[in-house]
Amino acid sequence: MRQIDNFINGVFLPASHSRRFEKRSPVDNRVIASIAEASHADVDMAVKAARAALNGEWGRLTQDQRVDLLYAVADEITRRFDDFVDAEMEDTGQPEHVMKHVFIPRGAANFKIFADVIKNVPTESFMTDTPDGRGALNYAIRKPKGVIGVISPWNAPFLLMTWKVGPALACGNTVLVKPSEETPFTAALLGEVMNKVGIPAGVYNVVNGFGPDSAGEFITSHPGVDAITFTGETRTGTAIMKAAATGTRDVSFEMGGKNAGIVFADADFDEAVNGIFRSAFLNTGQVCLGTERVYVERPIFDKFVTALKAKAEGVKFGRPSDHGSNYGPLISREHQTKVLSYYQKAVEEGATVVTGGGVPEMQGELAEGNWVQPTIWTGLPETAAVVREEIFGPCCHISPFDSEDEVVAKANDTEYGLSTTIWTTNLTRAHRMAGRIDVGITWINSWFLRDLRTAFGGTKQSGIGREGGVHSLEFYTELRNVCVKL
Ligand code: NAD
């Protein structure tokens, strides 16, 4: 059983009030770890350590020295690749291949890419006319924002946390990370990496716990935290924004989605089926960019539903390390209950259940895990709860459409605006639609194909701000202008 402590000022510490909580395995609900729950005093200590580092050794490093250290962090993650893969598999129950090929390499890349960005992105300058004819030079410099609160979710814990810690540190900030209470393993491991490569104490701090009246709220309400970057549910974002209003602290929010997948009759059929299968069911549907609403052009509707059904019925449930298994459970019993309640609601709303709708039969200890079947519905109106609300499970509703205007209107008829995926061989139409669908990220004939230099974020209730590449610098630095009279 793992013992996870808080990581404050370069030292692993139990909570000052000795409180701990249990972490269960998603695959069988056995208790697999004991986690220190940070007190208010612990968070305060971490904020002070982060401030001291900012004003101390870390703040005095040159950009080159900082960049070298971030490269060393990425290299050390790669050296300890198996430890990170094991920790994340144990934490989330998701298959080994997803960890090895997406989540852990991306975590390492998050340190390298932002080290490169900060080194290579220039700031602006302007020559300004003045009445005396001598002119003035304006130029901008970037300064770290300060102590950054990083609040992250459980669905891709390491990738999503490092997506924020990487740029924050590259820009010279210090961080206070609160991983999800469901998935604290890799944030702790990263503390070991930071110490090993010589990141000064206090630069990277981890406090564990929950949201309200716990570490999450202690961070967001702490006056010593200069800005808050958050990934999670829109409802939580609202609470954090209220807390951030005190002291008018800046926020960057990556939140929920109810993303549309759109398949035209002229699409490469097999690629579209495979693409929507991934977008609806990868990571057991626990991906913010996933497609829970699928719209298929009428001439291929029946054929598409049949093909997606066959793929959904082909998944092999099992432990991440089981040979031949490729499908994991949901993160927690609580989340399983929520997803199953939507499965029930879909039936009550009159859906045709094409496949799934329940819990797969599992043997032995696995029968205690948080399993749910990949589920496909058809036949519901756009007003149905399962078509409107983010479920965050392995499920989608598929409906037919007849025209581009109709499907654009349906795709946009949501309070969210994170991403969309469009499948067609008519690229003129695809480009046109990309401008019409109100989301932060449009994929054409692909999904989750990420270039970390591009802008990432959502419109409407899916987020505030953009991160990625140079856009991360906007949040993690203060741009200051210097005007020199010549
Ligand atoms: P969540 O909002 O429940 O929790 C996220 C984090 O916020 C956790 O660490 C939690 O402890 C903390 N938290 C909760 N209440 C808080 C409060 N009042 N103050 C401070 N912190 C608080 O989200 P989740 O269930 O962990 O993650 C799933 C959600 O995340 C989904 O809605 C999904 O769409 C979203 N998500 C979005 C993106 C994106 O990039 N847009 C990526 C991944 C997940």
pLDDT in tens, 215-268: 999 999 999 999 999 999 999 999 999 999 999 999 999 999 999 999 999 999
Q: How far is the CA of 431 from the centre of ligand 1 (A)?
A: 32
Ligand 1 atom nearest residue 288's Cα:
34
Options 76, 217, 254, 297, the catalytic residue: 254
**Domains of the chain in sequence order:** 2-255+462-485 (3.40.605.10), 259-451 (3.40.309.10)
Q: Residue 460: phi, psi to the nearest 5?
A: 45, -130
Using 50, 70 and 90 to split pLDDT, how confident is the model at 207?
Answer: very high
Residue 254 a catalytic site member:
yes
Which of 103, 110, 231 most suits a substitution to test ligand 1, by most atoms within 8 Å of the C-beta?
231
Mean pLDDT, the chain, rounded, equals 97
Ligand 1 atom nearest residue 254's Cα:
41
Euclidean distance between CA atoms 232 and 152, whole angstroms: 7
Which of 246, 288, 450 most suits a substitution to test ligand 1, by most atoms within 8 Å of the C-beta?
288
Q: What is the pLDDT of residues 423-473, one digit of tens each?
A: 999 999 999 999 999 999 999 999 999 999 999 999 999 999 999 999 999
Checking if the pLDDT of 321 tops 90, the result is: no
Mean pLDDT for the stretch of residues 133-140:
98
Q: How far is CA 96 from each of CA 91, 111, 322, 434, rounded to the nearest angstrom? A: 12, 22, 9, 34
Residue whose C-alpha is closest to residue 203's, from 167, 179, 169, 249: 169
Q: How far is the CA of 255 from the centre of ligand 1 (A)?
A: 7
For ligand 1, atom 43: residue with the closest CA = 288
Checking if the pLDDT of 174 tops 90, the result is: yes
Q: How far is CA 73 from each of CA 166, 194, 204, 392, rounded to the nearest angstrom? A: 10, 7, 12, 32
Q: Tell me which residues have their CB closer than 6 angstroms to ligand 1.
A: 151-155, 160, 178, 180-181, 210-212, 216-217, 220, 231-233, 236, 239-240, 254-257, 288, 390, 392, 418, 458, 462-463
ipTM value: 0.96
Looking at residue 144, its pLDDT comes to 98
User: Across-strand partners of 442?
Assistant: 420
Euclidean distance between CA atoms 214 and 357, whole angstroms: 35
**Pair type for strands 174-178 and 147-151:** parallel
For ligand 1, atom 12: residue with the closest CA = 211
Which of 151, 217, 459 most suits a substitution to test ligand 1, by most atoms within 8 Å of the C-beta?
151
Mean pLDDT for the stretch of residues 392-419:
98
**Residue 28: alpha-carbon gap to chain centroid:** 25
Q: What is the pLDDT of residues 96-131, one digit of tens each?
A: 999 999 999 999 999 999 999 999 999 999 999 999
Q: What is the pLDDT of residues 386-402, one digit of tens each?
A: 999 999 999 999 999 99
Q: How far is the CA of 56 from the centre of ligand 1 (A)?
A: 32
For ligand 1, atom 16: residue with the closest CA = 211
- The rounded percent of the chain whose pLDDT value lies above 70 is 100
Q: How far is the CA of 236 from the centre of ligand 1 (A)?
A: 6
Looking at residue 324, its pLDDT comes to 87
Checking if the pLDDT of 45 tops 90, the result is: yes
User: Across-strand partners of 228?
Assistant: 149, 251
For ligand 1, atom 30: residue with the closest CA = 232
Using 50, 70 and 90 to split pLDDT, how confident is the model at 322?
Answer: confident
Q: How far is the CA of 240 from the centre of ligand 1 (A)?
A: 10
Q: What is the pLDDT of residues 70-98, one digit of tens each?
A: 999 999 999 999 999 999 999 999 999 99
pTM confidence score: 0.97
Using 50, 70 and 90 to split pLDDT, how confident is the model at 323?
Answer: confident
Q: How far is the CA of 401 from the centre of ligand 1 (A)?
A: 33
Q: Which residues of 295-311 are buried (b: 16+ CB within 10 A; e: fewer)?
A: bbbeebbeebbebbbeb
In sequence order, the 6+-apart residues with CB closer than 8 A to the CB of 164 are: 148, 150, 152, 175, 229, 231, 252, 467
